[in-house]
Copies of this chain bind each other. A is one copy, B any other.
Amino acid sequence: MNKTNGLSLSLADLAERLGATLVGDGKRCIGGLATLSDAGSSDISFLANKAYLKYLANTNAAAVLLHPAHAADCPAKTARLELDNPYLAYAELSRLFDPLTMQASSGIHATAFVAEDVAVGRDVEVGPHAVIEAGAILNDDVIVGAGSVVGQQSSIGAGSRLHANVTVSHGVVIGKRAILHSGCVIGGDGFGFAHDGGRWHKIAQLGGVVLGDDVEVGSCSSIDRGALDDTRIGNGVKIDSQVQIAHNVHVGDHSALAGCVGIAGSTRVGRHCMLGGGVGLSGHITLCDGVQITGMSLVTNSITEPGVYSSGTGAMSNGLWRKNAVRFKQLDEIARRVTRLERQGRSE
């Protein structure tokens, strides 16, 4: 697939859009975006990480986004767009050149099923074989991909895109400009049962899910509906693929959850938190604002101070690990032996 969308913009135009200082020929036209090593003569590239500085000297890019501090490293033949946050500028250009964003709405496909009482805004697109159930609301500029299902009385905020095969269950509220990736499920039942007589008795999950504005949910992720109250995801929260968010969890604004994170029921995650890949949070705990958890850590208690937290052991060769893992089972005993030795030393 073409990685560009046919757009061609002059460097002067790009510099103005990005608020960058241009050094080079403002009339030169740019048709795409690429890495320093892959860029061709009609591409723009960027330097946002010193590790890639080595590719700058030999890039074929027509122009490079970079911080003024790196101006001297840029070959003379290459135009420069200087700005404070080249990575942010790259983000903006990536959206500008995205083939998906240029496609005009194709309306409601003939094979889609939209229930009679669905409220449909302006420029809404519903793909082949998608299903919009009774009482749902699709606000302006919503795109629902092929095979996606929007359940009864759910509402999708303006400008949101559901990719193919997304499931939004009944009674779910999705904010504006959401991006929901294929296979994700918003509003499946929370895992709630009463135990009696050796059996599990279903607790119907009567709550819903409320997503704020500008939320993204990765492919095959699950956000479960609340038991009585709603599961709540704040504004600007970004959720990667294969994430599980249990019932009644709240995630604060602008937090980011990497792939394979699991959050158990009723836990509160603050604002501006970052959970690394595979992190697990126990149920009924609270993380304050600004907490970062490194990959695959398990958090079983509330965290009340911002900062970086970890658990687990680093990886090592299996032979060394076997010896150490056996010792871990003796660790309390070893600690007691050290204390005893210290006492003996003092008493001598």
Residues of chain A whose beta carbon lies under 8 Å from any beta carbon of chain B: 1-4, 33-35, 38, 85, 87-88, 90-92, 94-95, 97-101, 109, 111, 113, 127-129, 131, 133, 145-147, 149, 151-154, 163-165, 167, 169-172, 179, 181-185, 188-189, 191-194, 196, 198-208, 216, 218-222, 224, 227-229, 236, 238, 240-242, 244, 246, 254, 256, 258-260, 262, 264, 272, 277-278, 280, 282, 293-301, 307-332, 334-335, 337-338, 341-342, 344-345
Contacts and interface: CB of A to CB of B under 8 A. Distances in A.
A111 B265 CA distance: 37
Sorted nearest first, the 8 A-B pairs with minimum C-beta distance are: A1-B171, A188-B219, A98-B204, A308-B318, A323-B332, A91-B194, A185-B219, A310-B321
A277 B280 contact: yes
Contacts of A171: 1-3, 99
**What is the predominant secondary structure among interface residues of chain A facing chain B?**
loop
A242 B222 contact: yes
A111 B310 CA distance: 51
B170 A181 contact: no
Contact of A264 (B3, B35, B216, B277): B277
Q: How many copies does the complex hold?
A: 3
A169 B182 contact: yes
Contact of A149 (B131, B164, B189): B164
Given A100-B170, A191-B259, A198-B254, A307 B313 contact: no
B200 A256 contact: yes
A219 B217 CA distance: 14
